[in-house]
Amino acid sequence: MSVLIISTLDDGHAQAVIKALHANGHEAPHVLDLSHFPKQITVSLHFQSDQRRFSLSHRSSGHFDLGAIHAVWWRRPQAIDLSKADARHAQFVRSEWNTALQGLFHSMNAFWVNDPARDAVAAHKPFQLTVAQECGLTVPVTLMTSDPNEAVRFWNAYPGRTIFKQFLALPDSWRETRIVGEAEAEFVETVRLAPVIFQERVDGVADIRVTAVGDRCYAAATPLKDLQYPNDVRMNHGVEYVEHLLPPSVEERVLSLMARLGLVYGAVDLRLTARQEYVFFEVNPAGQYLYVNPETHEKVTSALANVLADPSSARRD
């Protein structure tokens, strides 16, 4: 049986897990880049009597039987390449490909990290905060709105302490988390065009990155005093992380969140306050972890390789 990683060949996280699997004596995983559809890869799904057979055919690597796959890492799926499609038919072609591939993925008899449907639902921030609250995690005071009047009332309630951010950070429209200031206030009416997430800024002593794999959490911390831009940890490059021991109660709530969201893997962002309270910001079902300290990311890589090689290791006792 084999492992399939749905990502790109140059993805560092995929390559780290491939090396770990190889070091443990496992067969090299297959890497499937969805952007190679339809020019380089074809797909065939055969159904006859009570039998079915799913396969791919790649121009360079040949035929591949998906029935041999026992575990899949939904790591970094790419969009199919429609650059050659006629503009008049692009929407139809995209719909047909997406429907066929999603149906294929859900029909495979394989263990998923993470199941594509659950992964997609778990990425929705309103749902994340709802489940986090129900699991006992502390969340920031938050308003998600398309009403300019509601936005202004929130800003006035937390003057100089209101941050705003996107629901989904797309590659071509990525924006860092910012404080609402005079410049932003001038454009309040644009809130009508698309809803915005507003939150009270949470002051703290450290940002915590918790990478959860199966029933284990691997936490790393970086002090806020060392960050040039504390409103968004992604804007700080080269900061040092150290391994961090989560209190058992917080770890249990994080694992409860993962279970409720149906995730095997997830990168959770927390902030530790001066009162030793852990505040939940979000969970990224395909979040990065290689940027944290080597001790932590080596453990995460090993845990991912183990789960893909033996899916039973992801289950709680």
In angstroms, how far is the first alpha carbon of the chain from the final one? 25
- What is the enclosing helix (H) or strand (E) of 47? strand 41-48
How many residues appear in the chain? 317
Residue 145's identity, in one-letter code, is T
pLDDT per position as a tens digit, 269-300: 999 999 999 999 999 999 999 988 888 989 99
CA-CA-CA-CA dihedral for 258, 282, 235, 145, to nearest 10: 160
pTM across the whole model: 0.91
pLDDT per position as a tens digit, 175-207: 677 788 877 778 889 899 999 999 999 999 999
Task: Write down the pLDDT at residue 85.
Answer: 77
In CATH, what is the architecture of 121-138+203-314? 2-Layer Sandwich (3.30)
- What is the enclosing helix (H) or strand (E) of 216? strand 216-223
pLDDT per position as a tens digit, 236-277: 556 788 999 999 999 999 999 999 999 999 999 999 999 999
